[in-house]
Structure 1
């Protein structure tokens, strides 16, 4: 009985003959004698009981059976190569390339420094960071990890992990509050200059449990929270910003949180990825680093 490893060799030689277009070119690529390549193809045909290649002195063509064997052999050989890579990855220090996508503001505000620190700790990694307002298709765009926020867990075929709870906070500068007064209720807040974003209608309004909905208005609308933050710091109006975006300004005294007693809906910051963490050391290493860094954040309650 022929050993399975021999079958792997025969399939590899057969694929090289087709891809190179001749026995001689395949032999040079594999660093084998022409006779060994010819013998390997004959042995494969004998084992399968089918003619796979039609040979003439001028041309080489593939039979229907040969086309089927080539297609299946490509998948088998690629699977074996992937297995070798996974085994090598498990036995070595984590390294490799990851394509990671973030929402624009979230990525710049929360993840840019985390990724820089990760590369300092793991210099053998390569990160390709994609900041975008769009939800990229993980398969079509070959994305390894997509960081996103959601109110409810998205219906997705991918693996996911929840990382952080995020709330929207009402914030203003001390300058604005001295000039315009401090609102002590939603009714009062609705009379103030509330700076708006175009991300979501829900982020420009407030619904109390079993109560009225408050819709806010202001003299500034922007699709970028960085500009809203700068405008709040400048004393132009009141902002509704995510907790991760406000923590440093609240701690430094640049922002004052308003109506902190209000219950507010939370979003979840999480990650989507295509393969199990335990099957990819590089993926797990990066996610563990992110989890540890996010766990150290001191966000407003």
Structure 2
């Protein structure tokens, strides 16, 4: 028995003074309402309504039940109204999880403008290159930067994409030579990203047929900003996403290697725990993030 539905039906019966009129309002049969009230009375161990073929009246227990139920239903209605009113407001506590480098380079710079736009919002930004369970961690939204995502019960939105290339410092290339073909990469000192799907196998596309290069990076790091710094220091050759490579390339600290060859393009995904719709605070955050991702 759905107690809240039965309470609502009982109050409607009393207010309308008739099973038939209440049933018409609720879109059910009078027989169903009669059965529900009978089950309710059995569960309470007392009669709530005195019924004859011509009239219906509340018993003393029925009047008490009606009064209490009316208060409960009004309280529930007030709560629902407050929730609906607040559903479109950008306030509360927004908890975001994102990869470390992406969070530092892309999200952190956009936060001041976002916070100024929504002064009633509190924000917690957790940065971790590991893939965390966002539901267990209590996050409202999790940003993932990957070529693809496994099937998930979470709501997934693709909010952008990024380029990914191979880079090295001019000093390293002057010392070790510049690769002319993908196969030349095997003769170079590779700096690998421990959490990348392409740590030891680079699938490259470019002129001609796709090429898979098997590599054994002697240096492997778990943070892509540390990888970038090692490349700038001339320690080897490695892959970087555009949000980490654009600045050093413009400054002359890094040089694209095999620019005609590309790695799989990672998507930037936002995961939310709800499929029924995102809260206003999540939608507002993703709108700001999309603008930050535009060239």
Match of 2:83 in 1: 85
Runs of 4+ in structure 1 off by over 4 angstroms are: 73-80, 208-212, 276-279
Deviation per residue, 1:59-111 (Å, 9 max, x gap): xxxxxxxxxxxxxx999967862542231343x5x222111111223222322
Structure 2: segments with no counterpart, 5+ residues:
1-6, 12-36, 46-70
Partner-residue secondary structure (3-state), 1:190: helix
Aligned pairs (5 A) from 1:76-155:
81-90=79-88, 94-155=90-151
Per the TM alignment, residue 214 of structure 1 is displaced from its structure 2 partner at its CA by 1.5
Which position in structure 1 is the counterpart of 2:269? 270
1:227-269 deviation per Cα after TM superposition (whole angstroms, max 9, x unaligned): 2111111111112112222111112221111111113311111
Partner SS state of residue 128, structure 1: strand
Whether contact under 8 Å (2:87, 2:280) holds in the other structure is yes
Q: Distance in 1 between matches of 2:97 and 2:160?
A: 17
Q: 2:54 — aligned with what?
A: none
Structure 1 residue 279 displacement after superposition: 5.6
Greater Cα offset, 173-182 or 277-286? 277-286
Q: Give the structure 2 partner of residue 288 of structure 1.
A: 287
Greater C-alpha radius of gyration: 2
User: TM-score under structure 2 normalisation?
Assistant: 0.68
Aligned to 1:230: 229
Instruction: Specify the alignment match of 2:58 in structure 1.
Output: none
Rounded Cα–Cα distance in structure 1 between residues aligned with 2:134 and 2:74: 24
Q: 1:144 to 1:219 in 2, by over 3 A?
A: same
Per the alignment, residue 194 of structure 2 pairs with 198
Question: In the alignment, is the contact (CA less than 8 A) between 2:200 and 2:217 conserved in 1?
Answer: no
CA distance in 2, matches of 1:257, 1:78: 62
**Contact kept in structure 2, 1:99 and 1:145, CA below 8 Å:** yes
8 Å CA contact 1:118–1:286 kept in 2: the answer is yes
Shift of 1:178: 2.2
In the alignment, what sits opposite 1:239?
A: 238
CA contact (8 A) 1:86 1:280 kept: no
Residue-pair matches, total = 237
Matching residue of 2:184: 188
Which digits, 9 at most, give the CA deviation of each residue in 1:155-214, with x for residues without a partner? 122222112212331111122222222222112222111111211352332234655532
Shift of the 270–76 alpha-carbon distance from structure 1 to 2, 3 Å rule, reads farther
**251-260 or 108-117, larger mean C-alpha shift:** 108-117
In structure 1, how many angstroms separate the alpha carbons of the residues matched to 2:84 and 2:240? 42
Distance 1:204 1:108, change over 3 A: farther
Q: What SS does the aligned partner of 1:203 have?
A: coil
Summarize the Cα distance change of 1:233–1:257 in structure 2 as closer, same or farther, 3 Å threshold: same
Q: Distance in 2 between matches of 1:141 and 1:111?
A: 19
Q: Over the residues paired in the alignment, what is the CA RMSD in angstroms?
A: 3.6
TM-score (structure 1 length as normaliser)? 0.67
Distance 1:265 1:88, change over 3 A: closer
* Alpha-carbon distance in 2 for matches of 1:154, 1:79: 40
For the residue of structure 2 that corresponds to 1:177, the secondary structure is helix
The corresponding residue for 1:33 is none
Name structure 1 gaps, 5 residues minimum. Answer: 8-44, 53-72
How much has 1:277 moved relative to structure 2? Answer: 8.2
